[in-house]
Amino acid sequence: MSSLSRLTALALVCLTAAPALADSSTPRISADRIVYNASIYTSQDGDPLRRFATAMATRGETILWVGRGDTWKSYVGPNTQVENLHGRQVLPGFVDAHEHMLSPFEPTTDLCFVPTFDANGQVVVGPDGVPVLNTDPTFDEVRTYATSCAQQRPAGAWTVFLFSRKFYLTSHGRNVRVELSVASPNNPVTGFDAFEGHGQFANDAALSAAGIGIWDANPYNGLYGRAEDGSLDGFVHEVGAQGLIFEAMATRHPDSYFAAQYTHWLDVAASVGIVSALDIPFEYRPARAAAVKSLVQHPVNLTVACMPFDEGEACPASLRATSGKLWVKTFTDGGLKGCIGWSKRGYLDSEVQCPSVYTPGYLGHSNLSREELARAYRRVKSTPNACGIYHAYGSAAAQFALDVANEEQMAGQCGTMEHWDMADPETVDGLADLGWYLVQNPGHIQLKPVIDEYLTPTEADRASPYASVIARGVKLAFGRDGFGPITPGVDSPFVWIAQAMEHWNPSERLTAEQGVIAATRESARARREAGGMLAYGQPASWIVVDRQVIGADAATLRAATVLRTVIRGQDVFTAP
């Protein structure tokens, strides 16, 4: 008998003696809605028996009672809606703790289409008869298509590419800025790393539109790639640099354009069971972020983080979450393929792998000095009800973020570390001592081939810690960390959980239950908001699933779909 089966059997045996999940000594008030004959997973902590229930009563936006047996009948009033779920799985609504919901470019007009070619040089056509977009073109392919796309567009129109590993490798030793400026002198050209998201390139016209000079110093929270003479080579990394390009593109659109993107994203999110999400926008500065957010009205709770482009940039009070918290984002390093992830042990062959000019034994780079990061921590400490979000990918970056946090006595302050995909075990132990949540992104597990190619086996073999993080006493939360709308069945919460269950390192795999907890209760707690579990007094936000997922395998999770999403007592999505 599985551990889950034994636990279920124990729950049934102990029904008469099990503690109630809500106070039963007071007179009942009528519920607005009751569901019964359900397989409810509550995500409550403490007594494991409290995680499983068969009925739930809600009134208004709040849960009145969750439990087992027939107690629900005492909450039935003349106007109570009572529903038999016939054994359907019910879960708390998912909380997406780390997102990038928007895009500053319009795929139908801005994207320069580079076709995918097979080994014989023929264009690859998809099942729908449409040529397949190449999201991993070489530098020469980008240069060629930059010219052809510019010829089809008016002067000044943006040309956008999606790129990945091949572009970095084939551009090594070449000046991307100069060559793409020759290829398209009158049109801004930029490319966005479609796989990692932490790399971008730009020609002279794009840099000029963003107000960037070729001899500029590195921006706050960002980094410029440089040629041997110190001038910009066209690579722009992290929000301090990428954000300036995005901001220039975003000026073409009114605030309502981005508000509509938010609304679409939230509509899709509700259909996959997400009831709350935090967005980290790259597209504009905090003041505009607040203006756009003010236009969005949606039942899915939207929190927008403050992303300062300059160190002293103000965070508007209107960006505060419904909890009252003001979330402020800081970057310490970047991604691997651009060689900006900051490693303790270095890149295997930086002279070949890295697109800009880096010396042998190159370790990567910090976007912030020690004093800049210290001031970012102090800013959060000195701002009432503020919380920090601290990005660190490489092993050195995670250690750096932890060391400075300890120096600034951040234990007990409100903050989360993000990613930590390459963090050493002793660094994770330090995070446990700090008492902060780690917000992980299961999609990063797919980076294992890149990690193997770029970093030493010492780092690669223990990359992407999940189960070991929990075992070391760190609370683990989940976020998609994607750009643009969620694709149901591809990068929805059930897929995140399945990815963590299928981790390439068996010792780091999570169970379905651990994954659900990370995507519900722990994500809500990481973001200091109510919800994420089904318990007395909690928001009545829950989902009905088409199959049992607690105790199931990864394939079952991937196939799961949401039949209904309820947010604060209101049905916001019902499957057709």
pLDDT in tens, 48-83: 889 999 999 999 999 999 999 999 999 999 999 999
Q: Does the pLDDT of residue 21 top 60, yes or no? A: no
Q: Does the pLDDT of residue 405 top 90, yes or no? A: yes
What average pLDDT does this structure show over 563-573? 98
Express as a percent the part of the chain with pLDDT over 70: 95
Mean pLDDT of the chain: 93
pLDDT at position 5 is 38
How far is residue 520's CA from residue 334's CA, in Å, rounded to a whole number? 27
Q: Residue 197: which pLDDT band, with cuts at 50, 70 and 90?
A: confident
Lookup result for tokens 């995909």:
421
Rounded (10°) angle between helices 395-407 and 370-382: 50
| Tally of residues, the chain | 576
How far is residue 362's CA from residue 383's CA, in Å, rounded to a whole number? 37
| pLDDT tens digits, one per residue of 109-144 | 999 999 999 999 899 999 999 999 999 999 999 999
Query: Which two tokens mark 508?
Result: 């780091």
Q: At 100, phi and psi to the nearest 5?
A: -130, 95
pLDDT at position 194 is 86
Contact 237, 338 (CB under 8 A): yes
| pLDDT tens digits, one per residue of 488-521 | 989 999 999 999 999 999 999 999 999 999 999 9
Longest CA–CA separation in the chain, Å: 80
Q: Which H or E run includes 35? A: strand 33-36
Query: Which two tokens mark 445?
Result: 């597990």
Strand 94-99 and strand 274-279: pairing? parallel
Higher local confidence (pLDDT), 103 or 571:
571
Q: Does the pLDDT of residue 1 top 70, yes or no? A: no
Q: Which one-letter DSSP state was computed for residue 100? A: B
Whole-Å CA distances, 511 to 41, 42, 328, 507, 553: 14, 16, 32, 11, 8
Query: Which two tokens mark 290?
Result: 């607040």
pLDDT at position 350 is 85
How far is residue 223's CA from residue 245's CA, in Å, rounded to a whole number? 13
Residue type, 371: E
Residue 290's CB: how many other CB atoms inside 10 A?
Answer: 18
Contact 63, 539 (CB under 8 A): yes
E strands, 93-181, where? 94-99, 159-163
pLDDT at position 14 is 37
pLDDT at position 61 is 98
Contact 301, 322 (CB under 8 A): yes
Closest by alpha carbon to 135, among 110, 153, 157, 113? Answer: 113
With H, G, I as helix, E, B as strand and everything else as coil, classify residue 348: coil
Q: Which one-letter DSSP state was computed for residue 317? A: G
